[in-house]
């Protein structure tokens, strides 16, 4: 798999909420090779602070030339990214990791929580392009309407069926994404693709296990190198031992992972 490290120009920055931003970058090398579920490692500053690159899912590509990342400001690196300006350059390494797989004959259901929604837009678009007869069902959750509404917009514009859930009931179902899944008439041949906080992915995995539905999850563990060279991103496996989320994943068959069930 080809990876590139290059200075990419920021062609657009959008502020979607007070702390969620979308950056469009120009790189035909990365955009033309990226697959849904892959990520990039971004150097967020010119100097040594922060020293390590930060991982972000590729949230969509366009014209084989541009790709976008969608991020929430949570610490030093993302705060620096939020202060970037159009026309500036960012050092990017990617595309990295395994992507989602999909079967156009199956009923596909994409389930995202919070910023885990980012890679699902790319996946949903790919499915729409390739699986014209069976568009995916989209189930998205977040804390409230302010956080979720801007993330849903892109899926709706594609004409996809979106089922929203919010913790406070301000948009869609008042509750969790699993509350929506329980009410959907999902075929046993359905294939679930999930990205979000670990408790949410654990709950979706348990739901799928009970219903014997296939489930793939994207693990957004903290990462240091992004290339399998350190142990910064290990995830425990059901059969024992560990996998690197960056190079063996970030997308795994949920059954292969060891889940902490309380």
Ligand X SMILES: Cc1cc2nc3c(=O)[nH]c(=O)nc-3n(C[C@H](O)[C@H](O)[C@H](O)COP(=O)(O)OP(=O)(O)OC[C@H]3O[C@@H](n4cnc5c(N)ncnc54)[C@H](O)[C@@H]3O)c2cc1C
CB of 226 to ligand FES, least distance (A): 5
CB of 69 to ligand X, least distance (A): 6
DSSP 100: -
Q: CB-hemisphere CA count at 13 Å for 117?
A: 28
Do the beta carbons of residue 97 and residue 246 sit within 8 Å?
yes
Q: Nearer Cβ to ligand X, position 49 or 184? A: 49
**Cβ neighbours of residue 197 closer than 8 Å, sequence gap 6 or more:** 113, 114, 116
Number of residues that bind ligand FES (CB under 6 A): 11
Q: Which region among 63-71, 84-92, 103-111, 126-134 touches ligand X (by CB under 6 A)?
A: 63-71
Evaluate the omega torsion of the peptide bond into residue 16 and state whether it is cis, within 30 degrees of 0. Answer: no
Looking at 60, 61, 78, 126, which residue binds ligand X (CB under 6 A)?
Answer: 78
Q: Does 77 help bind ligand X (rule: CB under 6 A)?
A: yes
**Cβ neighbours of residue 187 closer than 8 Å, sequence gap 6 or more:** 107
Q: Which of 5, 7, 4 is nearest to 87 (CA)?
A: 7
CB of 70 to ligand X, least distance (A): 5
| Per-residue interface string for the shown chain with ligand X, residues 83-122, x marking contact by CB under 6 A | --------------------------------x--x----
What is the three-class DSSP state of 17? strand
As given in the structure block, the two tokens for residue 194 are: 């999930």
| Pairing label, strands 234-236, 242-244 | antiparallel
Residue with tokens 């490290």: 5
As given in the structure block, the two tokens for residue 53 are: 């690159």
As given in the structure block, the two tokens for residue 238 are: 């059901």
Region 224-243 residues binding ligand FES, contact defined as CB under 6 A = 224-226, 228-230, 232-233
Region 95-154 residues binding ligand FES, contact defined as CB under 6 A = none
Query: Distance between CA atoms of 28 and 57, rounded to whole angstroms?
Result: 17
Q: Nearer Cβ to ligand FES, position 10 or 227? A: 227
CB of 214 to ligand X, least distance (A): 21
Q: Does 39 help bind ligand X (rule: CB under 6 A)?
A: yes
Q: Does 246 help bind ligand FES (rule: CB under 6 A)?
A: yes
Looking at 65, 72, 134, 145, which residue binds ligand X (CB under 6 A)?
Answer: 72
Query: What is the binding site for ligand FES (CB under 6 A)?
Result: 223-226, 228-230, 232-233, 244, 246
Query: What is the binding site for ligand X (CB under 6 A)?
Result: 39, 50, 54-57, 69-72, 74-78, 115, 118, 220-223, 250
């Amino acid at each position: 798999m080809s990876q590139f490290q290059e200075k990419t120009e920021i062609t657009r920055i959008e502020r979607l909420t007070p702390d969620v931003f979308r950056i469009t970058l120009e790189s035909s090398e990365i955009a033309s090779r990226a697959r849904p579920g892959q990520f990039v490692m971004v150097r967020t500053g010119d100097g040594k602070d922060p020293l390590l690159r930060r991982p972000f899912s590729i949230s969509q590509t366009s014209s084989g030339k541009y790709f976008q990342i969608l991020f929430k400001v949570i610490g030093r690196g993302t705060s620096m990214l939020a202060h970037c300006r159009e026309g500036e350059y960012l050092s990017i390494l990617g595309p990295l990791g395994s992507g989602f797989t999909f079967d156009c004959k199956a009923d596909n259901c994409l389930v995202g929580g919070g910023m885990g929604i980012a890679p699902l837009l790319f996946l949903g678009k790919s499915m729409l392009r390739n699986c014209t007869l069976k568009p995916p069902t989209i189930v998205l959750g977040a804390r409230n309407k302010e956080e979720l509404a801007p993330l849903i917009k892109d899926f709706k514009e594609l004409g996809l069926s979106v089922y929203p859930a919010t913790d406070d009931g301000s948009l869609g179902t008042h509750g969790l994404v699993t509350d929506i899944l329980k009410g959907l008439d999902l075929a046993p041949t359905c294939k679930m693709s999930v990205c979000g906080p670990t408790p949410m992915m654990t709950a979706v995995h348990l739901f799928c296990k009970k219903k014997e539905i296939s489930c793939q999850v994207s693990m957004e563990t903290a990462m240091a190198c992004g290339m399998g060279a350190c142990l910064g991103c290990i995830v425990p496996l059901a059969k024992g031992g560990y996998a690197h989320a960056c190079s063996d994943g970030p997308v795994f068959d949920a059954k292969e992972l060891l889940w902490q069930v309380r």
